[in-house]
Structure 1
Amino acid sequence: MIKKILLLFGLFLMFVPSQSTAQESEQILKFNSKIIINRDSSINVTETINYYFDSPKHGIIRNIPYRYYDSSKNQYFITPTQIDKIIDSQGKVIEYSQEDDGSYLKLKIGDPNLTVTKEKTYIITYKVAGIINYFSDHDELYWNATGNDWDVPINNVTIDVFLPEVIDYSKLQTACFTGESGGKESKCEKSVNTGKVGLSTVKGPLTIVIGFNKGIVTEITRQYEEPSTFEKVWGAVHHESGWYLLLPILVFILLLFRYLRTGRDPEGRGTIVPEFEPPEKLLPGEMGTLIDEQADRSDISATIIDLAVKGYLKIKEGSDKKYTLIKIKDAGKDFADYENTIFDGIFSGKKEVDLSDIHETFADKISKTSDQLYQHLVQKKYFIKNPDKVRSHSCWFGFAVMFFAPFLLFIFSFILAFAGFVSGILIMIFARSTPKKTREGVIVKEKSLGFKEFLYRAERYRLKWQEKENIFEKYLPYAMVFGIAEKWAENFKDIYKKPPDWYEGGNWTTFNTVVFASSLNSFSSSASVSYSPPSTSASSGSSGFGGGGSSGGGFGGGGGGSW
């Protein structure tokens, strides 16, 4: 029997990706949060984020929400949040800037003159007031410890909650939730020691609930504020056989054969050469989606800036880094359907809207916009089928196999159940490779990468572009999709002496294209936060226990990424 177990374990390890492979992509390697519950209903939070960069970046962005809807959604309440300090693992202070978009504190952490590669640890200390929920029989900390809106995976999450000394441990309640926002899964470990509750999960995000007896913390009156008219309108809305172990191997062979035969992209030109204009008149969002097969928020932000460049809207930057979008003219007749969805979703009949106010109008349009972007590229014959639907179908099938596999344990045997479970894992792993481009799609992708090469090394090809009119702002949205906006802007710092007509604000003494590109990156990050509405679970006053809790619920949350 021991030999069988060792054999099963060995097979399992064969199918688990190695750590070195996993660390090739940008991610959070470890996320630890130490939370001290104070008697005045505030908490002190110390987040230790061990971040892995797969390419040179200045640092990370951490978005911390502080403004929430109440249960009737006709008022907001504030949880005053104060940043204490940000240091590295050696105790050295790390430079950061802080922006307030009206709902989140956005921390841009790192030195704009330096870059970071590989691993870097960031320790963020802050205090949040008015964070405890009060009930008739207990009080409660319901806290989204990691946030669900990170651009990268979160691994190895540990949360330590330090309790007041006078707590009654017989009345202590704990719960935790993992997975996507609204999910009920609880793949986390809990431990209770004197003065501390520990919660952990291998893969975040992680939301925690700590309930304790009345009288431990002082009940305070929350700070409420009236929403804008815009917010009021939209806020309303049985035998064992070793042969079974061959099943995962056969599944792996079949999946590999299927990929090699029908799933692999056809060959293109096979070379990347500089392209001096967008191939096939691809728009920025389309190019970003074609390259990584993901219609993500950066593609949507680049589309907004592209519409501004074309004169359909203006971006106004306030003195406090708050942004306003101003409609200049109606949507064009030649707009793609996803451009119409973005444009209508932002303004929704209005002429002017604050970026921080588009939570309710635009958040529910994200999925539709992404689907339209995918379908647009299918219509252009760059993909055979919608990549997202192909991935989803494969993932759901793999998940179904994993879900039903344990039932085989009761009907047949452990080995068959294990083999089925591993087969489901393999199906889900291969799901990422199921979207397939056409040969034309592969060639256009290669040309797009050639266009990226031109934008990155534009100085080398100056003779190709120096006579073109407005080339800086015309190609800037593309540079943003590729993450090289500041590199592109360096080529024009001695040429452009004033900002474009579609951007107002910035308080420049002397206009600088590099600083301007950085401002647009800041706008893009703020826009990405605005696409998601703030958490509504905390504001309802419902408990995280008794079925009321979920991943992403409670206070806290937010997310971030790199810059």
Structure 2
Amino acid sequence: MRIFFTLFFLLIAINLRCEDFVIKDYRVNVKVYDNGEISVNEEIDLDFKVHRHGIVRRIPLFFKTLSNRNKELNVYDIKVSGEKFSTNKKGNFLYIKVGDEYETFTGSKKYVISYKIYNAIEYLNDLANINLILIRHDWDVEILKGTFYLYFPRGYELKKQDVYFYSGNFEKSIDYVDYFIERNLVYAKIIRPLTYNESVQVSISVPKKLINKSSFLPLKIFLKENKVIFLPVITFLFLFVIWWFFGKDEMISRIVHYELPDDLNPAVAGYIYNDKADNRDLVSLFFYWAHKGIISIEEVEDPLSIFFSKKDYILRQLKPLYIDAKPFEWVIFSELFPSYVNVIRLSSLKNNFFDVMKRAKASLEDYISNTQLYDKKSFIFRKIFEVSAILIFFAGFYLGLKVEIYWGISFILTALIVFLFGLIMPKKTDYGKKVYQVVSGFKDFLEKVEKNKIEKMLSKNPEYFDDILPYAIALGIADKIANKFSGLFKEPPQYYSYQGKKFESMDNFLISISLIISDLGSFIGSSSESNFTKNGFFEKNSSGSTGGGTGW
């Protein structure tokens, strides 16, 4: 008895579902073009008996050919006349959801759905075979009337033996479709209503030469349906225009300079040379302060390293930082030497000093933006680009996982373009150009100067090496000048020692300088910047067109 009532209510539920609406007329117009493209236009007249939002059309994206091969379809240019709709690819099907989620209705309703299909033609010997589903079997309603028009390219008159209507398996012909042929047109209609699980499919064979497979159409379809791949190109062009008018520096001639102005901070010099704040700009401050007698630097062995020797550095404050020090200098110095602390081991700061350096970089950026070196509007654009690049990158990562991989690639490439334009965006003022000219000219001099010229410079200023070392570090050429100064003098800098002792010779200090700078960088910054000296399922007999649907 329990089983009887279960089946009874199940049958009632199925019947109620099937009678939610009825398709009064289902008209399908198909046009096959000589390039292999197929356009489909469906006019569906329905009568809703209960309140519904609309319908969902389901179109297969794969079909099995007569030679038992699986072919993937391209379905594109989807349009629904006068209705809201959305599309979604899921499994082996494309779903077209038609209707408004905030509105329902009953009674008569007509939907006009059009789309195009490519790759639905199978070429066998001298024939081109087209398999189309005109009405799919999974409409869960009664279809009272159905008419079909199939147009083919002119140049061949279709014959009865070219056309075959079937349902489900190819071998299963149907007797509920009547059709006639007039030259290149096939007109067909159902002669009785279709019930659930009945379909209308057609196979038509024409000479192969009538339909030439286009070699460029697949690319055209892909580009048309995936316009998102143009996003990086459009973004590049758009940002290039902005950069051209608001960020592009005019050509700056480079003139050799033997020295830099006394009031030019090495971190500022490093920034204006490459238009960004990096760790080596801030590392240069350690040697800048040391040369001014504010701190001393001692290289020691880390007492916590047991099996392998590991370097550490002890910084001693010899005198207070000068009053007119820049804000970014105070950020670092106050962390190194808070109140009543004159000696600090760098390893003790390793866990939190990275955050200090981030704040110092931000302070350097803020200081530069408030000077007369750069146009202020260009800095605003730079900040916008930086934030936008981050947002676009994460959007691309999400879309690549949730939508399509090429969406993710396109967005991530766009984020990279936005980020790179952010790097080159700051535009120098006339004053900034003059400072850049001096800094770049000084860098060129240090890279190209001969030893005899250096000897002359040292004879005039014995501390010339100590003067220029902080700037060479900020400009990324400390290793180069170390090689140029090798053998020219004996005394290493007084501010630097090893295990409490001075270096035995200047050459030993010069040999170690690259490692010293790199070690300091690894203590205060991220590892990536530690080197500062170098710069559904498959349906067996589905065909190449349309599909089924339901209400929602």
TM-score band (shorter)? 0.3 to 0.5
Select the structure of larger CA radius of gyration: 2
Normalised by the length of structure 2, the TM-score is: 0.47
